[in-house]
Each structure stands twice: as structure tokens, then as C-alpha cells.
Amino acid sequence: MDAKPEPGPLGESSELLFSFGVIADIQYADLEDGYNFQGSRRRYYRHSLLHLQGAIEHWDKESSPPSCVLQLGDIIDGYNAQYQASEKSLELIMNTFQRLKVPVHHTWGNHEFYNFSRDYLTNSKLNTKFLEDQIAHHPETVPSGNYYAYHFVPFPKFRFILLDAYDMSVLGVDPSSPKYQQCLKILREHNPNAELNSPQGLAEPQFVQFNGGFSQEQLNWLNEVLTFSDRNQEKVVIVSHLPIYPEASDSVCLAWNYRDALAVIWSHKCVVCFFAGHTHDGGYSEDPFGVHHVNIEGVIETAPDSQAFGTVHVYPDKMVLKGRGRVPDRIMNYKKEKAFHF
């Protein structure tokens, strides 16, 4: 696939600053095709590796290669754990990612925790916190070790924040720990079903076991980073496995306390985009505060003759998602007061 020139409506005078790749829900397993839990959508477990290889070949050939790639979580499927294949499958996918000439930032989703404990992930190649930016003289912007989140700067005046949407969760946590008990209590208060993965009859269907939430500690940290970005006229992109905006997502796929995350984001001017995976179907909506919520279509439910990834081209006044296969193109203009002048 050759890189196409940007179409006309994107603005002739706009100067491309940098770009980054996005891919979600690869969920590789060395298995025959299967179906989702409802039996309604096909999953291409083996072929997801070929889709990833195709995405990497495309990014490496782009005329202006992306400065980094965001992997939005669920890198291998939970079925690997049943077949004692978790480490082997992860190694295969990580070796494939190593062909990329640019850094990859890995987000953790529910399938990471079906395969591995949080302690294992922290010590694995899926922990890309070493790529973080450290802001001198601002210790409040340093994340604690209690959750997997960090921020980085791929280009001056643009800060990306990777969030841990399973910071509050019963997945990947030792069942004897106080945190597990606390999270199970929250889940059971909102979900009386015997099967905690079932949203049946729930007023708030996001309270299922395959979702999670953000601790107050993590939200306080996010608030501090956004305060710094506001003060320094930075634009911010937030990355999470779970989406947080109902208009862009199936309600059963939202983070438990998505409203708390929105409240923090909406109290600042700097956030431009929020990228998530998890839904497999994709989704998009611009919220009332001008934040673009983009859910990237999942590789796992992408037929062999299609694709599911994208490259986001960043300009002084907008971001342009150039999708491949199931991922549609999108133009995401910044709020008017946000236009940059270089």
C-alpha cells in the first residue's frame, strides 16, 4: 500500500508536524477461527498475526514514518491461557512488533489479565513505561507504581498520556489482596448477576468483570499532568483500552467510572483526542468540550481480506486519521482557540 497524498479538504497550507500509528485488539491465538461470547461475530485468531504484519510493513514504508505506534490493548487472546500458550504467543507478537523501526507504546486490556498477573506484566516487554517523559521540578506529574500509566512527548507541545483502565479491577489481582476485595465489592454493588460478565438487567451495564476503572489516585495524577499541559499550552492525546464516552461506545464496554475520568478531562482545555479499543466495532464522537473520542476497530474481528489499523497525521490545527480496511478516515479539528501558529 503506497502512502497517498492527503486529500484536498485537509487544507493546502497545513504543515504536517508528525504522525503516529494506532492498532487495537489483535487478540492473537494459534487457533482456528471462532466467535465472540454471543456467537454473533467471527474472530480470526490466527489471521490477526498477518494483519499485524501488514500494518507494520505499511508503517515502515510510509513516506513520513510514524514517530510511534499506540497498541491499544488485548494483544493476545485469553484462550492462550487455557492452552498454556500465553508466553509463546506473546513472544511471537512482540517479535513481530520488533520489526518496527519506531517505539511502540503498549496499553493493557482485559485479555492481558486473562493471560498474566499484573506483577508479570510489570516485568514484561508489555511495560513500556521506560519511554515516559519526566518533567523537571514537577514531581506531581510522576505516576505512582500502583497503576500502569505514564506520559510522553512525541513532538514538542504534544503530550500523550497512557492510562490504566484496569487500575480498579478484579482481573490480574491476587484474590487475597485488599484491592481485589475492594474492587469485587464495587462490582457486586452494581452487578447482582451470578455471572459477573453479564450486563443483563443492569442500570449501568459497564459494571461487568471484563471492564475496570480508574482509581482516585490515578485520576488525581491525570489532573496534575493536564494542569501542567494547560499551563504550557500543550495539546494532549489520551490513550486507554477502555473508552469513556457513551456516544462513541457500546455502553457495556465503558470504564466503570467513566464519568469521573470525563470530569477531570473536561476541567481542562488541553485534551484533543481520546483513543481506545475494546469495542471491536469501533466508534467515534466529539463531546461537548471538543474532545474527539475515537475507538479503533479490533483486528481480531477483521476478515482476512480487510485490515484494521490507522495512521494519525498531526497538523497545527487538526489531527487526521487515515484508516485502513475497517478503520474509517476522520478529520478531528482542534477547538478554535487551540490552533497553533508555528
For residues 128 and 143, give the distance between their C-alpha atoms in angstroms, rounded to a whole number.
13
CA dist., res. 191 & res. 186, Å (int): 9
Paired sense of beta strands 150-155 and 158-162, if any = antiparallel
Where do the domains of the chain lie? 16-331
Report the candidate in 310, 281, 306, 303 with the shortest Cα–Cα distance to residue 46: 303
Q: Strands, E, within 49-113: which ranges?
A: 68-71, 104-106
Cell of 131: 519511554
Quick one: pLDDT at residue 337?
Answer: 61
The C-alpha atoms of residue 153 and residue 222 are separated, in whole angstroms, by 15
Q: In this structure, what C-alpha cell is assigned to residue 36?
A: 465472540
pLDDT digit string, tens, across residues 260-305: 999 999 999 999 999 999 999 999 999 999 999 999 999 999 999 9
Predicted TM-score of the model (pTM):
0.94
CB atoms within 10 A of CB 267: 12
Q: What does the alpha-carbon distance between residue 187 and residue 209 come to, in Å, rounded to a whole number?
A: 7
Output the pLDDT for position 7.
45
For residue 11, what pLDDT is reported? 45
Which residue stretches of the chain have pLDDT < 50? 1-12, 338-339, 341-342
Residue 10 has what pLDDT? 45
What type of residue sits at position 204?
Answer: E
pLDDT score at 205: 98
| Number of other CB atoms surrounding residue 101 within 10 Å | 10
pLDDT one-digit tens code per residue, 81-127:
999 999 999 999 999 999 999 999 999 999 999 999 999 999 999 99
Instruction: State the fold for domain 16-331.
Output: Purple Acid Phosphatase; chain A, domain 2 (3.60.21)
Q: What is the pLDDT of residue 3?
A: 43
